[in-house]
Amino acid sequence: MPDFSASISQSMKLKFNFSVSNLFLCNKILFDIKSFCYIKYNIFLCNRTFKVQLKFNFILKNRWVHTLYSPLY
């Protein structure tokens, strides 16, 4: 699959990343902290117009992150 990320502007990337973060938070898809230590996305449909290859690693390493997300559960 071709890598479309090179042709996407920085502002679009920031907007896209913000949307992905909100999607996780709003739908509680983020993950259960007790079971997972990272989540990885490879392909994501952005605005139903083009596919973006998104290499997204979210690593929980410290207590601060646990404290930050604990009210969600």
CA atoms within 13 A on the CB side of 52: 20
At 7, the pLDDT band (50, 70, 90 cuts) reads: low
- State residue 18's pLDDT score: 62
Burial (CB count <10 Å: 0-12, 13-18, 19+), residue 71: exposed
Model confidence band, residue 11 (pLDDT cutoffs 50, 70, 90): low
Q: pLDDT tens digits, residue range 18-68?
A: 666 655 555 444 444 444 444 444 344 444 444 444 444 444 444 444 444
What's the predicted TM-score (pTM) here?
A: 0.21
3-state SS class at 41:
strand
pLDDT at position 55: 42
